[in-house]
């Protein structure tokens, strides 16, 4: 029988989940034993393979929305020994030939083979950097921190907070640039800055269907803005019509997804990414895909998803990348690729799955720095990955790309 969860229960659960999320970030996930004898310390090639989409498969994506997925290898990891201000990397953002990394102890910039660090002394609003985006119009870098929003422009930092701007809260979890607008997801709602006019607009529980105040992630593209609201599902804003719409878990169950593919798998959403007309939603209880008329839900027990605990999602074309507490996934709507570091070993494994069935498993001598993955971005044929123990850089193996039908 479907049973609604009272609001006080939801808030109590959210507090517990927040505490759990914080503790998970600091736990040493490498303390797990036993490496399978199937694994080799030598690199093994993944053969070229084409995985057709079955129209009757409820997990299948539309054919015209599916693109090939590269396999990344030859990983190199950067840590404090290489110049990072901290090994705990919350986010990574490619900016042409430069790569920005947000850590819990400052902002790092990788340029021409060297790392540079920026701290509060340089104008950074707070040492903990949670999100970074780059304006496609001005090239300015926008930085979300635990103590305000920064703009890095022409070699200097400008700071925006509750006292000198229309930022609704100084705890900024996410930032997204959309034309001349900059969206900041905060602990009290969302603020929008029009960089042409300097005008700020605030959206919260009073003038938008957010239901809860904690905006954890924002994705803006093609006149659509999507906001992940912790405990409030996903909120949609159409910039052309100025109309709002909200998406909630229709089951209203905290523990399980009662009815498959009926909507959001959970109201505790952590990340959103909108690309090619597809909305991807990462929650702490599974993954969602929404094409404007139909929902799909994915879980670690019935798919190739590494874990239901999702920190970050990013779509590139019609492929989504999922950062979890147990490894990194890519998914094209049918086939899953999982990158996983083998505990107590410098190497890792790559799994290729159709649904929950692993069809290929290969071992590599290099891999991502850690299985607790918090962010990714692309620089040509290179994939950058932010983890709890450093930043890793992998190279596209074109000979191992999973081809489209």
Span 302-324, average pLDDT: 96
8 A C-beta contact, residue 94 and residue 62: no
Structure tokens at 249: 């878990």
| Residues forming a β-bridge with 244 | 237
8 A C-beta contact, residue 332 and residue 318: yes
Extended beta strands in 27-113, E state: 49-50, 69-78, 89-95, 98-103, 106-111
Q: What percent of the chain has pLDDT over 90?
A: 77
Per-residue pLDDT of 140-174, as tens digits, reads: 999 999 999 999 999 999 999 999 999 999 999 99
- Give the Å distances, CA to CA, from 163 to 143, 148, 159, 255: 18, 10, 10, 40
Half-sphere exposure of 366 (CA within 13 A, CB side): 11
- Is the pLDDT at 10 greater than 50? The verdict is no
- Is the pLDDT at 65 greater than 70? The verdict is no
Identify the three-state secondary structure at position 17: helix
CATH topology classification for 48-403:
Methylamine Dehydrogenase; Chain H (2.130.10)
CA-wise closest residue to 215 among 272, 155, 147: 272
Residue 34's pLDDT is 27
- Is the pLDDT at 365 greater than 60? The verdict is yes
Structure tokens at 324: 């979890």
Residue 26's pLDDT is 43
Contacts of 400 (CB under 8 A, 6+ apart): 45, 46, 47, 48, 70, 71, 73
8 A C-beta contact, residue 92 and residue 84: no
Cα separation, 362 vs 304, in Å, equals 15
Per-residue pLDDT of 199-245, as tens digits, reads: 999 999 999 999 999 999 999 999 999 999 999 999 999 999 999 99
Q: To the nearest whole number, what is the mean pLDDT of the chain?
A: 85
CA-wise closest residue to 348 among 372, 327, 331, 333: 327
End-to-end CA distance of the chain: 42
Span 293-300, average pLDDT: 97
Cα separation, 199 vs 194, in Å, equals 5
Phi, psi of 246 (to 5 degrees): -120, 150
- Is the pLDDT at 16 greater than 50? The verdict is no
Identify the three-state secondary structure at position 81: helix
Per-residue pLDDT of 29-49, as tens digits, reads: 333 322 233 333 333 333 333
Identify the three-state secondary structure at position 47: coil
């Amino acid at each position: 029988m479907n049973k609604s969860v009272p609001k006080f229960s939801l808030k109590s659960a959210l507090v517990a989940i927040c505490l759990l999320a914080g503790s998970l970030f600091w736990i040493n996930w490498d303390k797990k034993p036993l490496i399978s004898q199937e694994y080799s310390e030598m690199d093994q090639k993944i053969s070229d393979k084409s995985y057709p989409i079955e129209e009757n498969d409820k997990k299948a994506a539309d054919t015209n929305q599916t693109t090939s997925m590269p396999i990344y290898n030859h990983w190199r990891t950067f840590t404090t020994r290489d110049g990072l201000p901290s090994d705990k990397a919350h986010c990574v953002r490619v900016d042409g030939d430069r790569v920005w990394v947000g850590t819990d102890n400052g902002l790092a910039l990788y340029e021409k083979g060297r790392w540079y660090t920026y701290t509060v002394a340089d104008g950074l609003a707070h040492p903990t950097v949670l999100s970074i985006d780059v304006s496609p119009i001005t090239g300015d870098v926008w930085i979300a921190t635990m103590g305000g929003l920064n703009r890095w422009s022409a070699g200097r930092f400008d700071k925006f907070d509750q006292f000198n701007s229309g930022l609704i809260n100084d705890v900024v979890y996410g930032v997204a640039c959309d034309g001349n607008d900059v969206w900041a997801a905060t602990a009290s709602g969302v603020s929008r800055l029009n960089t042409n006019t300097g005008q700020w607009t605030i959206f919260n529980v009073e003038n938008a269907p957010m239901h809860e105040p904690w905006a954890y992630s924002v994705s803006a593209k093609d006149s659509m803005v999507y906001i992940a609201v912790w405990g409030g599902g996903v909120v949609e804003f159409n910039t052309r019509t100025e109309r709002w719409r909200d998406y909630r878990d229709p089951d209203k169950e905290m523990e399980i997804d009662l009815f498959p593919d009926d909507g959001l798998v959970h109201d505790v959403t952590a990340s959103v990414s909108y690309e090619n007309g597809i909305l991807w939603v990462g929650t702490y209880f599974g993954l969602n895909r929404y094409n404007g008329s139909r929902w799909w839900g994915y879980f670690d027990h019935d798919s190739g998803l590494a874990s239901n605990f999702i920190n970050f999602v990013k779509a590139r074309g019609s492929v989504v990348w999922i950062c979890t507490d147990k490894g990194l996934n890519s998914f094209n709507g049918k086939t899953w690729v999982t990158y996983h570091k083998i505990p107590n070993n410098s190497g890792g494994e790559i799994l290729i799955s159709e649904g929950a069935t692993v069809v290929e498993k290969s071992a590599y001598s290099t891999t991502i720095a850690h299985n607790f993955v918090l962010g990714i971005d692309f620089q040509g044929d290179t994939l950058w990955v932010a983890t709890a123990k450093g930043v890793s850089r992998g190279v596209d193996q074109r000979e191992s790309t999973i081809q489209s039908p």
